[in-house]
Amino acid sequence: MLPGETAIVAAAALSDLLHEISRLGYTLVGPTVRDGAIVYREIHSAEDLPAGWTDVQQPGSYRLARRADSALFGFAVGPHSWKQFLHQPAVTLWHAQLADQGAVTFAAEPPERKRLALIGVRSCELYAIATQDKVLIGATYSDPHYAARRAGLFVVAVNCTVAGGTCFCVSMKTGPKVETGYDLALTELIDDARHELFIEAGSERGAEVLERVPRRPADGRAREAAEKAVRATAEMMGRQLETEGLRELLYANLENSRWDEVATRCLACANCTMVCPTCFCTTIEDHTDLGARRAERVQRWDSCFTTDFSHLNAGSVRSSIKSRYRQWLTHKLASWIDQFGTSGCVGCGRCITWCPVGIDLTEEAAAIRRTDLRSQTGREA
């Protein structure tokens, strides 16, 4: 087979495909049910996937529910993003040792070169990975730990056939159809008569794997069924975000009264940044043992919602919740574009679902747009 070719694989043969990927030396990571949520973790076969489960999401609300069928990918996205496997939550950068003679030696921690195969990556998440690539392995600076994990990646993407209640990838032009950045792309076709996977090879590695599993050529009817399923998902979006002129709108409304209103609800808990697949901020911690003979420097995820994140000599630059929420939203939807040439939001909706008080990014942007129009025209938009 060649990249771009398609085939139909029975859902029951998905374990064969995963075995072939594993046989090439990849560690499989995919969705599975754990602690009342669908999360990404190491898997070993298709039996580990959340067959027959879906998720019900609304602002500040997430729960699992049983489907009427045995779909393997019949859910949207859970609290985890793939970021945790590439841009890890904690990484030791170097360690130092004090010898008996008083000499101090320093040694950088070598990057972990683990070959990962990500199973079930959505289109919005592929855009998120591409966004982090720009930040962490750009032309000027490169994170060696991220780069090492990213280099060996094998991606099995999934075209969404379900939209969550907080999804808005259509608004961000990041889904639900997978367009690029994958080795294999699956569309799950399931009804009373069949349970099959329409698979497209996106790379030579993907084509080689697909060639080794039981399959049949995909005909026009199967392709149309796959496209119809994705079109239906695009029409099921739980949210919309008007992006026209949004960057300029936010820059012009840094003193909008809406920031004060949202600050009365925001807990500054940082949940939105922790679940976001593109947020990349980190802090540095230095640790020593009790004998002060060994030290290490650790890089950990951090958030612009913490007061320490913007702490300078005289104190925090953003001491109020209002200023921290404004920084997050304006960076995500406006200044990120200036820095990296793309929005920092991919429309996955995680920040809405996992906000304890249900603050909705799309609602806040719309409210600022309404009040901006009112200030210009003297009437309600």
For 179-211, write each residue's pLDDT tens digit: 999 999 999 999 888 999 999 999 999 999 999
CB count within 10 Å of CB 93 equals 14
Residues 221, 348 share a domain: no
293: which 2 tokens? Answer: 């003979």
- Residue reference for tokens 């069949």: 194
CA distances in angstroms from 373 to 113, 249, 334, 369, listed in the order given = 52, 10, 18, 6
Q: State the Cα–Cα distance between residues 303 and 282, nearest whole angstrom.
A: 7
Contacts of 314 (CB under 8 A, 6+ apart): none
How many separate domains does the chain show?
A: 2
User: Which of these three, 197, 214, 234, is where a domain ends?
Assistant: 234
Q: State the Cα–Cα distance between residues 297 and 93, nearest whole angstrom.
A: 6
Residue 103: inside a domain? no
Residues 19, 145 share a domain: yes
Residue 220: inside a domain? yes
Residues 119, 64 share a domain: yes
pLDDT tens for each residue of the chain, 381 residues long: 789 999 999 999 999 999 999 999 999 999 999 999 999 999 999 999 999 999 999 999 999 999 999 999 999 999 999 999 999 999 999 999 998 888 999 999 999 888 999 999 999 999 999 999 999 998 778 999 999 999 989 999 999 999 999 999 999 999 999 999 999 999 999 988 899 999 999 999 999 999 999 999 999 999 999 999 999 999 999 999 999 999 999 999 999 999 999 999 999 999 999 999 999 999 999 999 988 889 999 999 999 999 888 878 777 888 899 999 999 999 999 999 999 999 999 999 999 999 999 999 999 999 999 998 656 655 444
Contacts of 191 (CB under 8 A, 6+ apart): none
DSSP state of 48: G
Residues 259, 179 share a domain: no
How much is the pTM? 0.93
Q: Phi first, then psi: give them for residue 138, nearest 5 degrees.
A: -70, -175
Residues 263, 225 share a domain: no
Residue 31: inside a domain? yes
Residue 102: inside a domain? no
Residues 172, 129 share a domain: yes
Residue 289: inside a domain? no
Residues 263, 217 share a domain: no
- Residue reference for tokens 């119809």: 228
Containing structural domain, residue 317: 246-280+304-377
Q: What is the per-residue pLDDT across 74-112, written as a single tens digit (0 to 9) for each?
A: 999 999 999 999 999 999 999 999 988 889 999 999 998
Residues 256, 193 share a domain: no
Q: State the Cα–Cα distance between residues 98 and 83, nearest whole angstrom.
A: 35
Nearest residue to 143 (alpha-carbon basis) of 115, 118, 116, 109: 109
Residues 258, 214 share a domain: no
Residue 55: inside a domain? yes
Residues 318, 226 share a domain: no
Residue 158: inside a domain? yes
The answer to whether the beta carbons of residues 98 and 294 sit under 8 Å apart is yes
User: Which of these three, 173, 208, 234, is where a domain ends?
Assistant: 234
Residue 239: inside a domain? no
Residues 273, 138 share a domain: no
Residues 262, 359 share a domain: yes
